[in-house]
Amino acid sequence: MKTKIKKAFSSRINAVGLPILALCWVCFFWGTTWIASKEGVRHMPALQLAGIRQFIGGILYVAFFLYKKAPWPKGKQWKAIFILSILNFALSNGLSTWGVKYISSGLGAIIGAIFPLWIVFITLFRGERIARLSILGLVVSFAGVCVIFYDHLADFLKPDFRFGIFLSLIATVSWAFGSLYTKKKAASFNPYFSLGLQMLISSFITLAITGATGTGVNIGSIPANSWWAIAYLVIIGSVLTFIAYIYMLQRLPPEINSIYAYVNPIVAVLLGALIFGEQLTMAIAIGGGITLLGLYLVNYSMRKAKI
C-alpha cells in the first residue's frame, strides 16, 4: 500500500512539479541571456556572436538526433524549417543581439516582450476581427512604452540609439511572424530536432553575411569575455532553456506558461542595473509595469478567443 502511495505521489510530482520547475527556469534564465548578449557584443560584432552561438547550439542538437537515428524532415517540412530559421533566428535572434549593442539589455528585453502586439496588428491587417480586450491591451502597452521612453527622449538624438531601437523592433516583428507561421505550418515535426536545424541553417546565413560584409573579427582575436558569453548563451540559452521551454509548452496550460514573457524583462532590467549599472528609473519601472499589463490583456484575450 505504501509503495503504491509513493508511486502515485512521485507520478504527481513529475506531472506538475517538473513542468513548473521548467517554467521557473525559463522565467529566470532567458532573462539572463540578454545580459550575456550585452557582454558578448561589447567585444565583437553582434551577428558574428549570434552566428557562432547558433552554429554550436545547432551542431549539438543535430548531433544528438543523428546519434539517436531520428528521422530527417521530409518534403515541405524543409520549407517550414528554412523559413523559421530566418524568422526566429537569423532575424529575430540576430537583430535583437545586434540591438543590445546600442541600447541597454533591459530595454532590449522589454521591447522583445511586445511581440504579441505585432500579432494583433498582423491580424488586423488581414481583416480579421479583434476582441475589444486586445485593443485595450494594445493601447495600454503603447502608453507603457511611451512612459518608458520618456527618460530616453534625449537619447533619440543619438543615431546609434535609434538604430538599436529599430533593430530590436524588427526582431520582435520577425518573432511574431515566426510564431504565427509555427502555429500554422510546423506542428508535424520533432520540435527539438527542428530547433537544431533552424539554428544551424541560421548560423550559415548570419556568418555568411558577416563574412561578405567584412565586419567579422578573427576567431583568435575574440576575447575570453565574449567566449564565456557565447558558452553561456549556447548551454543555458540555446540548449537547456529551449528544452525547458518546449517541455513546459507541452505540459502546462497557456495561461501559465506565458508567465515567462512577463518575468524575463524584469530579470533583464534588474540584472542590467546590477551588473552593467544600466539606468533604472521610476519611468522604466512604471512604464515597464504598464506595458506588461497591456501584454497580459492581449494574451488573455487571444487565449479566450481560442476557447
What DSSP string describes 177-240?
HHHHHHHHH-TTS-HHHHHHHHHHHHHHHHHHHHHHHT----GGGS-HHHHHHHHHIIIIIIII
Amino acid at 139: V
Q: Give the pLDDT of residue 306.
A: 57
Amino acid at 295: L
Q: Which domain holds residue 246?
A: 45-216+226-306
SS3 54: helix
Structural domain contains residue 19: no
Q: Give the pLDDT of residue 9.
A: 40
Q: Give the pLDDT of residue 154.
A: 76
In the Cβ-directed half-sphere of 224, how many Cα atoms lie within 13 Å?
0
Grid coordinates belonging to 161: 540609439
pLDDT tens, residue by residue, 79-102? 889 999 999 999 999 999 999 999
Query: Which residue in 36, 32, 22, 34 sits closest to 259, CA to CA?
Result: 22
In this structure, what DSSP letter does residue 141 have?
H
Q: Give the pLDDT of residue 136.
A: 85
Number of domains observed in the structure of the chain: 1
Of the pLDDT bands very low, low, confident and very high (cuts 50, 70, 90), residue 159 is very high
Q: Collect all residues with Cβ–Cβ distance below 8 Å to 205 and sequence separation of at least 6.
A: 51, 85, 86, 90
Of the pLDDT bands very low, low, confident and very high (cuts 50, 70, 90), residue 255 is low
Mean pLDDT of the chain: 85
Amino acid at 282: M
Structural domain contains residue 32: no
Cβ distance 260 to 23 under 8 Å?
yes
Structural domain contains residue 22: no
Alpha-carbon torsion (264, 270, 275, 278), positive or negative: positive
Q: Give the pLDDT of residue 2.
A: 46
Q: Give the pLDDT of residue 304.
A: 67
Compare 249 and 34 and report the one with higher pLDDT.
34
Structural domain contains residue 285: yes
Q: Residue 128: pLDDT above 90?
A: no
Q: From the CB of residue 132, how many other CB atoms can be counted at a distance below 10 Å?
A: 8
Distance CA 298, CA 137 (A): 5
Cβ distance 287 to 141 under 8 Å?
no
Cβ distance 203 to 52 under 8 Å?
yes
Q: Give the pLDDT of residue 307.
A: 45
Distance CA 1, CA 291 (A): 52
SS3 134: helix
Rounded mean pLDDT, 286-304:
81
Amino acid at 236: I
Q: Give the pLDDT of residue 15.
A: 52
Q: Give the pLDDT of residue 118.
A: 87
Q: Residue 248: pLDDT above 60?
A: yes
Compare 123 and 103 and report the one with higher pLDDT.
103
Structural domain contains residue 195: yes
Structural domain contains residue 248: yes
Structural domain contains residue 300: yes
pTM of the model: 0.85
Structural domain contains residue 146: yes
- Top mean-pLDDT range of 161-175, 234-248, 261-275: 161-175
In this structure, what DSSP letter does residue 70 have?
P
Cβ distance 291 to 146 under 8 Å?
no
Distance CA 132, CA 302 (A): 11
Q: Residue 3: pLDDT above 60?
A: no
Rounded mean pLDDT, 58-81:
90
